[in-house]
Amino acid sequence: MAISATSSVAGHPVTFSSSTPNVCTVSGNSVSKLANGMCTIVATQAGDATYATTTMTRNIPIGTAVADPLTFLSGYQNIDNTKEQGAVQRYAGSTADNWWCATDWCGGSVTPDGSSFSWYYNMQPADPNGLGGYMGFKLLAPTLRDLVKTANTQVGLRIDAQAALKFNLAMNQEWFSTGNGINVDLYLGHFAMKGTDACNVKLHAFIKPTTAAATDYSLGLKDKFTISETCGLTGLDLWTELQDYPISQIEISAGGPNTTVSSTGNAKPTFPTKITMTGPVIFQ
């Protein structure tokens, strides 16, 4: 297959070599397969008196080869932090509570071993039909407390040959029975001002669970996600964005909270929406 590279420095050609000669070889701009495995290509741009010599490495899985996993989080220290010291930011609200949940309407918990995190929103209006609402949480990359508001965020996971986002998620039965799905958004470190607002390029996927029970999900980065926020930038390519900028934040949110199925009956109706994440969140 053919490979190519681009550079902002004119007049300095990029050359290619293979650091896995038992798996693949390189001749000019062509890569040839020798065996199944991880093919590692090194691109080199020679420097001069002004520019230093620069290299970049890319891995290409051949046959049954699978990229090494990148761990976004391995578990939760508490409801505010992952075990990797990334922040956990939670939110919920509706027209029934002035768009921010009261203390007894929403809450979170983490299991003693830190393997599971739950966030719930229990709406308690007299008549929930037709109400608007939102509910979800944001998981920040290791050591990251928030996205940078004035420049690119450099902290996060950089995708190489990883093909999918993998996690385990459960939802409560009442919410599942409403048919509402779950939004999954990846915020990249790519920053731009959108008018007067700070903005980060965002990728979006939507899942429609077939069961409320804890389920392992694998969302292909190329086929399940689309660029949903360009921040006013043009010509963006999803795979180029993923390789050029880190994934700094993952947001999990309700496609629509439960406003119709009560867990307590009609005397004092409560309409619960609950998401539980168990185990690591990885890219592989």
pLDDT score of 213: 98
Q: How far apart are CA 97 and CA 212, in angstroms?
A: 26
- Element holding 37 (H helix, E strand): strand 37-45
pLDDT score of 204: 98
pLDDT score of 128: 62
pLDDT score of 269: 83
Q: How far apart are CA 229 and CA 186, in angstroms?
A: 10
CB neighbour list of residue 180: distance below 8 Å, 6 or more residues apart: 254, 255, 256, 257, 258
pLDDT score of 132: 78
Label the pairing between strands 133-140 and 197-207.
unpaired
Domain topology for 70-283: Jelly Rolls (2.60.120)
Domain coordinates in residue numbering, the chain: 14-62, 70-283
User: What pTM was computed for the model?
Assistant: 0.90
C-alpha torsion angle, residues 167, 172, 173, 178 (rounded to 10)? -90
What is the full per-residue pLDDT of the chain (284 aa) written as tens digits?
999 998 888 888 999 999 999 999 999 999 999 999 999 999 999 988 888 999 999 999 999 899 999 999 999 999 999 999 999 999 999 888 888 887 689 999 999 999 999 999 998 876 666 677 899 999 999 999 999 999 999 999 999 999 999 999 999 999 999 999 999 999 999 999 999 999 999 999 999 999 999 999 999 999 999 999 999 999 999 999 999 999 999 999 999 999 889 998 766 789 999 999 999 999 99
Q: Between the CA of residue 43 and those of 5, 17, 21, 134, 159, what are the distances in Å?
A: 8, 7, 15, 46, 17
Q: How far apart are CA 85 and CA 141, in angstroms?
A: 8
